[in-house]
């Protein structure tokens, strides 16, 4: 995904001429002093805030008065019925809310999230009369005020990884001056930890080999879908599985009381509680599943697509349905990976799976989708599209009265371009040409494209620039962006990764692949390089980047690909090409880690790369 398309496209201008040296101009004084951290203790991922939704009374929260945690009228919950309401009196007043939390040691990522709504009768646009301060321990994370008023809840995210291994107090303090009320309303507070320094091998990741069967019927507009989904899986772990988790990612786009993704009537297990902003649903299995054994769960599914030119949203009559199908979360030696959704990049971590998805929709709507699609006549005025895909990590589709053009790349990949209203035929033809050349260029470097056809939906209203799914991408009219999104078919799609904890493994590699496809050598990559702090690394997690969002594109996309260009200059062009081809082959349909890539790179050269990783801030 390109979260800031104008900035990301502009970065291409910085990489046009040749770079003469491997060193990073102007950086040794800051970057060179950093060393990789010592190996951490084993991480036990956990959500360490208790009763973060306030639905279980007041314990263990400490509140300044009994009216802070409440369900009284005047405000509403983000999820459930209860919330924390600080201030709102219209007079001099202070409210506090706190809880002691213990953040496990050994975890590379700790992310605090909460939902905040602010309303006020203050009329100023310049003076912060009433304030809410969020702290962890003695560290102030943020201060909000009447100037931050908004009509609904907004999620706030902070990287608190520095507090791993500590017991600290999470505290919120709201203060009002002598007149005009401001209400600070909090709900669904969570502190999730995850990520081990050295993730275990692929074989311990489970549930393995998922196979999804989905049957959905749309309403007349394609903005609502109902039906049934089932998934069969195998336990690859030596520990019996007594539960699984479904990721309902798109519930981020609604509230817990009005969820866009609703699962009901579960079979093969019992639905438990929703967590992580209602994006994770626990399913207790009917009986434990031993190593090598398989099980199936099923459920009814309802999808309601919200307004917005988004990866899950509709732009007029054109509907994008990305990350809407519930998929199994991954469990490994570090436990269940239940990271929060991020709108800044991606959180999606899943194992290669098979999908058979049947979509019953009005014939007036074209339905591009992951996999290979076959259309059949349905009931009057309707078409049944059946899409099948093998060894993919997700399934996405779109629906609308698209204009479609098709072609085949020189190497034989079928390409379909679906354009919304307003995209000229010349632009569509340009994108078809780009897709043909890009898919073949990437396949020649990293291995043959395995997914049959490739669909691209083109809409210049996308705020995010582009978004990747297996065999299916969303994009602006942009040669560079489309080449980038198609490269994601290899890095995230074929060579998987934990996108929340190691976003560089897909975004940096994909931007590097884009440069290679466009004959860009990475020249002058390090012009005007500047690290924000000693804590800033190319390999940081999305918890860090969500807390430092202005740095995400610069470091992960630009610095990340520049580091790979530098590695190519150390190894030599041929050795680097062989490294990436062999690395993709050895991780085909598997999962990559930073440690594994570093080991593979070191094995490709007699040069000690220790200082290279340190200088380039590649940690792990």
Domains 46-194 and 202-401 share a fold: no
What global pTM score does this model have? 0.73
Provide CATH code, domain 402-493.
1.10.390.10
Helix (H, G, I), strand (E, B) or coil at 462: coil
What's the confidence (pLDDT) of residue 195? 66
Q: What's the CA gap between 537 and 278, in Å, rounded?
A: 30
* Tens-digit pLDDT profile for residues 25-69: 333 333 333 333 333 345 666 788 999 999 889 999 999 999 999
What's the confidence (pLDDT) of residue 3? 52
Q: Helix 479-487 crosses helix 425-446 at what angle (to 10 degrees)?
A: 40
- Is residue 14 within 8 Å of residue 527, measured between CB atoms? yes
Helix (H, G, I), strand (E, B) or coil at 502: coil
Kindly list the strands in the beta sheet with 167-176, ordered across the sheet, starting from the edge strand earlier in the chain: 62-63, 93-102, 167-176, 131-136, 139-145
Helix (H, G, I), strand (E, B) or coil at 352: coil
Place 9 in a pLDDT band, splitting at 50, 70 and 90: very low
Residues, the chain = 620
Instruction: Give the largest Cα separation in the chain, rounded.
Output: 73
Q: What's the CA gap between 323 and 433, in Å, rounded?
A: 28
What's the confidence (pLDDT) of residue 106? 72
- In this structure, what DSSP letter does residue 199 have? P
Burial pattern 588-616, b for ≥16 Cβ within 10 A else e, equals bbbbbbbebbbebbeebbeeebeebbbbb
- Is residue 305 within 8 Å of residue 311, measured between CB atoms? no
Kindly list the strands in the beta sheet with 312-315, ordered across the sheet, starting from the edge strand earlier in the chain: 312-315, 318-321, 397-399
What are the residue boundaries of the structural domains of the chain, listed by start? Answer: 46-194, 202-401, 402-493, 503-616
Q: At a CB cut-off of 8 Å and minimum separation 6, what does 513 contact?
A: 442, 445, 446, 487, 490, 491
* Tens-digit pLDDT profile for residues 289-314: 999 999 999 999 999 999 999 999 99
Say how many C-beta atoms besides its own lie within 10 A of residue 14's C-beta.
17
What's the confidence (pLDDT) of residue 79? 80
Phi, psi (rounded to 5 degrees) for 281: -120, 120
Q: What's the CA gap between 48 and 160, in Å, rounded?
A: 12
- Is residue 147 within 8 Å of residue 128, measured between CB atoms? yes
What's the confidence (pLDDT) of residue 44? 64
pLDDT (average), residues 210-216 = 98
- Is residue 495 within 8 Å of residue 470, measured between CB atoms? no
Burial pattern 117-134, b for ≥16 Cβ within 10 A else e, equals bbbbebeeeeeebbbbbb
**Region of 589 on the Ramachandran plot (φ > 0 left; ψ -120 to 50 alpha; else beta):** left
CATH classification (class only), 202-401: mainly beta
* Tens-digit pLDDT profile for residues 547-578: 999 999 999 999 999 999 999 999 999 999 99
Residue 536's closest CA among 556, 509, 564?
556
Q: Helix 573-586 crosses helix 425-446 at what angle (to 10 degrees)?
A: 90
Provide CATH code, domain 46-194.
2.60.120.260
- Is residue 495 within 8 Å of residue 583, measured between CB atoms? yes
Q: What's the CA gap between 155 and 618, in Å, rounded?
A: 29
First to last CA, the chain: 23
* Tens-digit pLDDT profile for residues 315-324: 999 999 999 9
Average pLDDT, the chain: 90
* Tens-digit pLDDT profile for residues 228-253: 999 999 999 988 999 999 999 999 99
pLDDT above 90 (res 1): no
Place 14 in a pLDDT band, splitting at 50, 70 and 90: very low
* Tens-digit pLDDT profile for residues 467-526: 999 999 999 999 999 999 999 999 999 999 999 999 999 999 999 999 999 999 998 888
pLDDT above 70 (res 364): yes
DSSP assignment of 44-79: --EE--SSTTS-S-STT-EESSTTSEE--TTS--SS
Q: What's the CA gap between 117 and 111, in Å, rounded?
A: 20
Place 345 in a pLDDT band, splitting at 50, 70 and 90: very high
What's the confidence (pLDDT) of residue 41? 47
What's the confidence (pLDDT) of residue 37? 31
């Amino acid at each position: 995904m390109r979260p800031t398309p104008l900035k990301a496209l502009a970065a291409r201008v910085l990489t046009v001429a040749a770079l003469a040296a491997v060193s990073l101009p102007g950086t040794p004084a800051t970057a060179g002093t950093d060393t990789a951290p010592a190996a951490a203790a084993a991480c036990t991922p956990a959500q360490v805030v208790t009763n973060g939704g306030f639905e279980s009374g007041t314990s263990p929260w400490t509140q300044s008065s009994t009216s802070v945690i409440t369900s009284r009228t005047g405000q509403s919950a983000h999820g459930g019925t209860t919330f924390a309401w600080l201030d709102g009196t219209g007079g001099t007043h202070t409210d506090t809310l706190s809880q002691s939390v213990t953040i496990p040691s050994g975890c590379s990522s700790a992310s605090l999230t909460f939902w905040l709504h602010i309303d006020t009768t203050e009329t100023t646009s310049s003076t912060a009369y009433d304030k809410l301060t969020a702290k962890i321990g003695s560290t102030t994370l943020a201060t909000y005020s009447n100037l931050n008023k908004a009509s609904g809840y907004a999620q706030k995210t902070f990287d608190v990884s520095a507090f791993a291994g500590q017991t600290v107090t999470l505290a919120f303090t709201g203060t009002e001056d002598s007149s005009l009320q401001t209400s600070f309303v909090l709900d669904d507070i969570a502190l999730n930890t995850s990520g081990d320094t050295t993730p275990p091998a692929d074989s311990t990741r489970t549930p393995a080999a998922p196979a999804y069967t989905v049957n959905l019927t749309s309403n007349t507009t394609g903005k609502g879908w109902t039906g049934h989904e089932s998934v069969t899986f195998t336990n690859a772990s030596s520990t019996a599985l007594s539960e699984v988790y479904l990721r309902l990612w798109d519930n981020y786009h609604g509230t817990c009381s009005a969820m866009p993704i609703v699962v009901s009537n579960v079979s093969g297990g019992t639905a438990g509680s929703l967590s992580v902003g209602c994006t994770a649903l626990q399913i207790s299995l009917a009986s434990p599943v031993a190593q090598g054994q398989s099980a199936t769960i099923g459920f009814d599914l309802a999808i309601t697509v919200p307004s917005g030119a988004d990866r899950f949203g509709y732009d007029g009559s054109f509907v994008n349905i990305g990350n809407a199908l519930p998929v199994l979360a991954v469990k490994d030696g570090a436990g269940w990976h239940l990271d929060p959704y991020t709108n800044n990049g991606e959180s999606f971590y899943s194992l290669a799976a098979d999908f058979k998805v049947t979509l019953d929709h009005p014939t007036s709507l074209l339905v591009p989708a992951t996999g290979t699609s076959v259309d059949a006549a349905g009931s009057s005025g309707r078409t049944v599209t059946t899409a099948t895909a093998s060894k993919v990590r997700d399934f996405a589709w779109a629906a609308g009265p698209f204009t479609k053009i098709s072609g085949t790349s020189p190497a034989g990949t079928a390409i379909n371009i679906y354009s919304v209203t307003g995209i000229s035929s010349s632009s569509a033809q340009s994108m078809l040409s780009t897709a043909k050349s890009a898919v073949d260029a990437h396949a020649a470097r990293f291995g043959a494209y395995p997914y049959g056809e490739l669909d691209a939906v083109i809409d210049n209203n996308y705020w995010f620039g582009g978004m990747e799914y297996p065999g299916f991408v969303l994009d602006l009219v942009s040669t560079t962006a489309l080449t980038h999104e198609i490269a994601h078919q290899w890095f995230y799609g074929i060579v998987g990764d934990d996108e929340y904890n190691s976003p560089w493994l897909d975004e940096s590699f994909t931007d590097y692949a884009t440069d290679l496809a466009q004959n860009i050598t990475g020249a002058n990559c390090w012009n005007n390089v500047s690290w924000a702090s000693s804590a800033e690394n190319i390999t940081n997690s999305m918890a860090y980047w969500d807390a430092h969002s202005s740095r995400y594109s610069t470091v992960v996309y630009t610095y990340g690909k520049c580091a790979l260009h530098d590695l190519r200059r150390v190894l030599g062009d041929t050795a680097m090409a062989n490294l990436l081809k062999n690395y993709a082959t050895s991780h085909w349909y598997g999962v990559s880690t930073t440690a594994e890539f570093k080991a593979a790179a070191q094995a490709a050269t007699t040069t000690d790369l220790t200082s290279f990783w340190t200088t380039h801030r590649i940690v792990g």
